[in-house]
Amino acid sequence: MSEGSRLRARRGFGHTRIWWLFNDNGNCQPASVFAALRERNKATFDKMLAILDYTERAGPPPYPNQYKPLGAGLFEFKVSKPAMLRLYAEATKSGWLIVYAGTSKKGQSHDIEEARKRQREARERGCDFE
Amino acid sequence: MSDSLDLLTRVADEDRKSVEYRLHTLVLEIGGRVHARLAQLHINQAELARRMQVSRPMVTKLLTGESNFQLRTLLRLADALDMELTVDLAPEGFRLPRFYVSRIADSLESYGSGTTLGQGSAQSVLVSHKAEIVSASGTRNAAEYSIPYSAEVA
């Protein structure tokens, strides 16, 4: 697929309003990170799954340390214990579009920068919600 | 072609049975109700701490989603917010719909969904539920339960 063509987003986990962004190679970085975390730290994985299910059902989590608007339409969903996982999502008309995931405790600013890059790319190239 | 998202989706139902998942789901549900109630009553953390007779840091911990919510704490929280605490154990796969009488709206509403079942000043309401019991094998057996609710409307 050539650069400049539209990107792809797919749903998972039985959700209807949460989408995952794929790159040109058919990889989904946030889903890959989430899958790796499932092997490494199941408790953190389960907490984030609960947050995603709650968000699908009732909207963003009520706890400020688990959900934070970052400006310009980007939002952070976070679990910090027992391990760190941050999912970055853009609020779109079709629902939440998860664009990036990070697991480093110290790499928050780098993760936000990466998330903004992917958010920008999805906006500029357009995204097909399949 | 199968990818990480497909794989995770396939095992999600199994993951949702874990204690950690169900615990955090409860914490989120309780947090949602508490935050909504705090906003409704215009209560800040300091006032909540005063009403619960606990320290401010304790309240902060409760409102960050990192607490397991001991029953004692939940009771204090419910009292502080003029709410009722309901804790129940039901057979696996069985969920009884809950109803409450909203004194503010003077109406009988289903708890959570917000569906209004009746309006007015009836002194008691008899509600009949059809419930489903799902066995471990996934077989559904319909059973009818008639449950009288005394709805005292102020």
- Which ipTM was obtained for this model? 0.91
- State the DSSP code for A3: B
Nearest-CB residue to B21 (from A31, A49, A61):
A49
Residues B5, A31: C-beta atoms closer than 8 Å: yes
Question: What is the CATH topology of the domain spanning B4-80?
Answer: 434 Repressor (Amino-terminal Domain) (1.10.260)
Where does A8-125 sit in CATH, by number? 3.30.2310
Q: What is the mean pLDDT of chain B?
A: 72
Residues of chain A contacting residue B32, judged by C-beta atoms under 8 Å apart: 54, 58, 62
Position A128 scores a pLDDT of: 92
User: What DSSP string describes A47-107?
Assistant: HHHHHHHHHHHHSS-S-TTTEEEEETTEEEEEE-SSS-EEEEEEEETTEEEEEEEE--SS-
**Chain B: nearest CA to A125, how far in angstroms?**
22
Q: Nearest chain A Cα to B7, which residue?
A: A35
Q: Which residues contact A8 (CB under 8 A, 6 or more apart)?
A: A21, A22, A127, A128, A130
Token duo for residue B113: 């969904």
Q: Nearest chain B Cα to A33, which residue?
A: B4
Whole-structure pTM value: 0.78
Outline which parts of chain B fall under CATH 1.10.260.40.
Answer: 4-80
For residue B91, what pLDDT band results from cuts at 50, 70 and 90?
A: confident
Q: Which residues contact A102 (CB under 8 A, 6 or more apart)?
A: A33, A84, A85, A86, A88, A108, A110, A111, A114
Q: Report the pLDDT averaged over residues B58-77.
A: 88
Position B2 scores a pLDDT of: 62
Crossing angle for the helix pair B4-15 and A42-58, nearest 10 degrees?
Answer: 90
Q: Report the pLDDT averaged over residues B13-27.
A: 94
Position A92 scores a pLDDT of: 92
* B-proximal residues of A, 53-72, CB under 8 Å: 53-54, 58, 61-66
Position B139 scores a pLDDT of: 42
Q: Does the pLDDT value for residue A39 go beyond 70?
A: yes
Q: Report the pLDDT averaged over residues B99-106.
A: 52
| Percent of chain A whose pLDDT exceeds 70 | 97
**Chain A: nearest CA to B14, how far in angstroms?**
11
Given a contact cutoff of 8 angstroms between Cβ atoms, the answer to whether A75 and A89 are in contact is yes
Q: Pick the residue with more confidence: A4 or B123?
A: A4
Position A106 scores a pLDDT of: 80
Position A105 scores a pLDDT of: 78
Lowest mean pLDDT among A12-21, A59-68, B144-153: B144-153
Position B87 scores a pLDDT of: 84
Question: What do you get for the CA distance between the two ends of chain B, in Å?
Answer: 61
CA distance B31 to B28: 5
